Amino acid sequence: MLQVDVDYLKKARKHRDYSGPIILIFLSLAGIVSFLPLIYLVSTAFKPPEELFLYPPTFFVRNPTLQNFSDLSTVTSNSLVPFSRYLFNTVFVTVCYLFTLILVDTMACYPLSKHKFPGHKALFKLVTTALMFVTAAAGIPSYLIITKLGIDNTYFVYIIPGLASTTVLFLMKQFLDQVPNQIFEAGKIDGASEWKLYTKIALPLLKNAQATAIILSFGGIWGDAGTSNTYIYEENLRTLAFFMNTIGGNVARTGATAVSSLIMTLPSIIIFIIQQSRVMDTMAHSGIK
């Protein structure tokens, strides 16, 4: 049987198939074009001032320097709050947010996927529909709710409103759907409580989905300048992204801006590189069935 198939395939490939190498070359070229602007970003961050405004403009840096980095710190030394405080705020808020996000969303996805409680279908349908919600369009009601709850001007305002990420919940639920129910039933027979089933079985199973949640949500919180702008009135609670936005747009600070945008972008990319295989594992079940 196998022999017949191989023969058939050989016959079908009478003409030599060059499509493999062609695809590889095409993909490499397109990949370079796609990635080039990021290389430019890195290169610009190391350019001395005379190269930044060179005519005709250059792509790669010739005499790399760290001057832009020290420029950035000079800019920040004039600000009301030290650079380290902005950095701390961003890191603190990001870590808290991602941790709570994963907790809240994994907690919700486990029953949605594995329990047939009344309303589970309707709720999941709501989540699927909510993938299309434009919450940003309801700015004023959101603002009123947040100020009424009194979480404005605290770290909570960065963390709480974004916790219910429907994209993350959706991906986690689809991922858990393909895990056989028997695992949980076996746990139940052994007398484990639902909380135990969640912490000891569901959470470890969702490890890859957690990595995906981090990738998809990291950029949003790390680069969140809007929240600082709208809800925070004290400078020492504001984030790095907010500060970076305030120094941008000034020609004299082109180099410093390049460095700052590097700081805003690089962590996302590094996290993606580290976690890529896990993300792919989760995404394999991302479809809407």
Mark the segment that binds another protein (CB under 8 A) among 61-69, 91-99, 121-129, 180-188: 121-129
Site string for another protein, 210-249 (x = CB under 8 A): ------x--x--xx-----------------x--xx--x-
Site for another protein in 60-79 (CB under 8 A): none
In angstroms, the CA 78 to CA 71 distance is 11
**Do 238 and 253 contact (CB within 8 A), yes or no?**
no
Site for another protein in 177-196 (CB under 8 A): 193-195
Please state the closest distance from residue 194 (CB atom) to another protein, in A.
4
Alpha helices (runs of H) in 232-253, residue ranges in sequence order: 240-247
How far CA 121 is from CA of 45, 111, 118, 125, in Å, comes to: 50, 11, 8, 6
Under rule CB under 8 A, residue 208 binds another protein:
no
Q: Which is nearer to another protein, 169 or 237 (CB)?
A: 169
Fill in the DSSP letter of residue 170.
H
**Do 48 and 65 contact (CB within 8 A), yes or no?**
yes
Q: What is the CA radius of gyration of the chain?
A: 25
DSSP calls for 173-214: HHHHHTS-THHHHHHHHTT--HHHIIIIIIHHHTHHHHHHHH
Residue 34 identity: S
Of the residues 7, 26, 150, 236, which one makes contact with another protein according to CB under 8 A: 26
Site for another protein in 139-168 (CB under 8 A): 139-142, 144-146, 149, 160-164, 166-167
Of the residues 3, 12, 18, 182, which one makes contact with another protein according to CB under 8 A: 12
Of the residues 68, 253, 258, 275, which one makes contact with another protein according to CB under 8 A: 258
Please state the closest distance from residue 26 (CB atom) to another protein, in A.
7
Please state the closest distance from residue 106 (CB atom) to another protein, in A.
9
